[in-house]
Amino acid sequence: MKTSVWLVLSVFCLLNLAPVAWAQEEARKVTLMPHWKKGEKRQYTMVKGRRKTQGSAAVSGKSTTLVRIEVLDANDAGYLLGWTAGETRIEDPAQAADPFTQALVDLARDVTIVLQLGSDTKLRGVRNWQQLQTLAHKVVEMSVQALQKKGANDAALDKTRRQLLSMFATRQQIEVLFTRSPQVFFAPLGMEYVVGRPREYEDQLPNPLGGESFPTRASFTLEKVDPVADTAIVTWRQEIDPVAGAGVLEKTLRDLAARLGKPVPPGKVLDLINVKDEARFTVDLSSGWPRQLSHTRTTSLAGASQEDTLAFSEVKP
């Protein structure tokens, strides 16, 4: 009789506690999907920075740009967004006076990049890539003219022109060039998260030495949900896979050494290069618009290092 009573009580407790545990689990879940309407607009301050270090010497620079984003279309297939960069302020006077740097800044100023996002919010391409390619070619000519004024000969000018034009030759090159910042901006959207449970995955990074891409280990983690502030905080980390990456680097170095006719450097090959990404996003739960984000990519190569930073802060109307 006592056993039956305890059995009934146990089942009763389980039936009553299970919904509570389920509710707690559901409260920790978040799906960061955009809820954007045609005609919506947002403005952000974008700050880019770069610091190069070689031994005890270091060179750094920073620029600030106002970015305007407009929803040009919204339907079941996804979104069409206009991404427009306004005037860019470069902090370093010497860099601001550089003709090629200024030409690149002028290239992006007040030019709208028409981005295609799928229903999963992932970037599918650039609708007006041909227009952007034409602008890139104009920048190339501006750069060549600047070198001509400095006294460069015709052979050097022709070589420079061909090298620069090769950077903007295909649709893929144009899309990669013009979507570097948007790729980071929209990265955490379109996924379901559980607080404190990383979403781990494998990816690839372009090889700065040429050759096969480096395999990486990466993860997104929902750090916090704040219903009162209507925000979710997500972090992202990515790093070259130490085992698979070593194999890719060894092959790259052997191919490079063969082309140059030099021996492969001694020591552990993975010590020669590493790439690490770290980012933090604050996303509006109701709308799916990012409010703030910061991203740092640190690249170490044969004793030298480069740190690239990117930050966005929403500008309230």
Which CATH number covers residue 252?
Answer: 2.30.230
Closest by Cα among 76, 100, 104, 105 to 89: 105
Q: What is the pLDDT of residue 310?
A: 97
Q: What is the pLDDT of residue 11?
A: 43
6 domain residue, yes or no: no
Render pLDDT for 27-53 as a digit per residue (tens, 0 to 9): 588 999 999 999 999 999 999 999 988
15 domain residue, yes or no: no
Total count of domains within the chain: 1
Q: What is the pLDDT of residue 133?
A: 92
4 domain residue, yes or no: no
17 domain residue, yes or no: no
21 domain residue, yes or no: no
Q: What is the pLDDT of residue 25?
A: 46
Q: What is the pLDDT of residue 214?
A: 86
1 domain residue, yes or no: no
Q: Which residues contact 22 (CB under 8 A, 6 or more apart)?
A: none
What is d(CA 148, CA 77) in angstroms, rounded to the nearest whole number? Answer: 48
19 domain residue, yes or no: no
Domain residues for the domain of 229 are 31-314
57 domain residue, yes or no: yes
Q: What is the pLDDT of residue 295?
A: 98
Q: Are 42 and 314 in contact (CB under 8 A)?
A: yes
The pTM (predicted TM-score) of the whole model is 0.81
The ranges of the chain with pLDDT < 70 are 1-27, 99-100, 103, 107, 208-210, 260, 264-272
Q: Residue 287 — left, alpha, or beta (φ > 0 → left; ψ -120 to 50 → alpha)? A: alpha
Q: What is the pLDDT of residue 75?
A: 95
Render pLDDT for 215-262 as a digit per residue (tens, 0 to 9): 999 999 999 999 999 999 999 999 988 778 778 877 877 777 777 677
Q: Are 66 and 84 in contact (CB under 8 A)?
A: no
